[in-house]
């Protein structure tokens, strides 16, 4: 297993475990502490938006994988800048790059949500952020 | 949290809180540490003892928010075990 697969599966499994733990805690005591914010988590991308009843959004795969060409949105008026900007947005939205971004920040947000001391969250966040960025750069260059 | 004072654990909890620790959080933490030490003493692997500790920690954390960071640390450990051994071997 490569480092980036481990990092992504780590964040995803932690999200799922925390979601289930939060659900179990609320079942045991409805006034219990809420330490898991669903909207900031990676799981929110797979939800169909109905907050009362969580359901898998069946169109998630179609939305995340490339399904067709995009169109160039004229923003600056400069033809080349618009082409570059549109390609960059298309790749970021269609190839799951946003999962990488959320993966780098996820542990920091989770630790903050657990009301841990700020210095500890910052230190662990810096470690994770730096290491995951390094792993992502290695992954983009085809190395584990 | 409901405490059954007639049981062994209930009596230990009640007496321990009133006479020794003065805080129910520390009493519960001590009981958890004792159980944890027993698991280590009898060479029960942490992966198996999590069956006892996860429900215990969830029920503790649902009533006492002081247990949430301990539960978080447990979940992080469980995540490492799951992602290393069961997913993407």
Per the structure, the count of domains in chain A is 1
Separation between Cα atoms, residue A29 and residue B48, nearest integer Å: 26
A122 within a domain of the structure (yes/no) = yes
Q: Which residues contact A28 (CB under 8 A, 6 or more apart)?
A: B58, B59, B62, B63
pTM confidence score: 0.74
Tokens of residue B57, six digits: 């920690």
CA distance B19 to chain A (A): 28
Size of the A and B interface in Cβ pairs below 8 Å: 60
The length of chain B in residues reads 89
Average pLDDT over residues B13-39: 84
Separation between Cα atoms, residue A144 and residue B18, nearest integer Å: 56
With 60 as the cut, is the pLDDT of residue B2 above it?
no
Mean per-residue pLDDT of chain A: 79
* Integer CA distances (angstroms), A21 to A89, A120, A128, in order: 36, 22, 23
- For A140, the 3-state DSSP assignment is helix
A70 within a domain of the structure (yes/no) = no
Average pLDDT over residues A6-30: 86
CA-nearest of B17, B80, B37, B72 to A112 is B72
A105 within a domain of the structure (yes/no) = yes
Res A144: pLDDT? 65
Q: Which chain A residues are Cβ-neighbours of B56 within 8 angstroms?
A: none
**Minimal-distance CA residue of chain B relative to A20:** B58
A131 within a domain of the structure (yes/no) = yes
Tokens of residue A77, six digits: 């008026």
Of A30-34, A120-124, B2-6, minimum mean pLDDT range: B2-6
A73 within a domain of the structure (yes/no) = no
With 70 as the cut, is the pLDDT of residue A92 above it?
yes
With 80 as the cut, is the pLDDT of residue A60 above it?
no
With 70 as the cut, is the pLDDT of residue A51 above it?
no
Tokens 């654990």 sit on residue = B9
Tokens of residue A78, six digits: 């400069």
CA-nearest of B65, B63, B37, B61 to B49 is B37
- For B45, the 3-state DSSP assignment is coil
ipTM of the complex: 0.76
B27-60 pLDDT tens trace: 888 888 888 888 888 888 877 887 888 888 888 8
Neighbour count for residue B62 (Cβ, 10 Å): 24
Res B52: pLDDT? 82
Confidence band of A123 (pLDDT split at 50, 70, 90): very high
Q: Which chain B residues are Cβ-neighbours of A111 within 8 angstroms?
A: 72
Res B87: pLDDT? 65
């Amino acid at each position: 297993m490569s480092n980036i697969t481990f990092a992504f599966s780590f964040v995803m499994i932690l999200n799922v475990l925390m979601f289930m733990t939060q659900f179990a805690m609320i079942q045991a005591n409805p006034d219990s502490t809420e330490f898991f914010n669903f909207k900031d988590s990676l799981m929110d991308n797979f939800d169909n938006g109905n907050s009362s009843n969580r359901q898998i959004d069946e169109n998630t795969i179609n939305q995340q994988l490339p399904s067709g060409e995009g169109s160039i949105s004229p923003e600056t008026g400069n033809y080349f800048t618009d082409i570059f900007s549109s390609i960059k947005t298309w790749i970021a939205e269609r190839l799951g790059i946003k999962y990488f971004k959320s993966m780098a920040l996820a542990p920091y947000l989770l630790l903050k949500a657990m009301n841990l001391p700020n210095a500890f969250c910052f230190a662990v966040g810096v470690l994770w952020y730096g290491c995951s960025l390094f792993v992502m750069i290695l992954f983009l260059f085809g190395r584990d | 949290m409901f405490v059954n004072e007639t049981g062994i654990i209930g009596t230990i909890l009640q007496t321990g809180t009133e006479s020794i620790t003065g805080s129910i959080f520390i009493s519960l933490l001590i009981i958890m540490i004792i159980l944890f030490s027993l698991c280590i003493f009898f060479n029960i692997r942490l992966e198996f003892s999590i069956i006892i500790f996860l429900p215990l920690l969830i029920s503790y954390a649902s009533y006492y928010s002081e247990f949430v960071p301990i539960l978080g640390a447990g979940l992080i450990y469980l995540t490492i075990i799951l992602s290393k051994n069961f997913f993407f071997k």
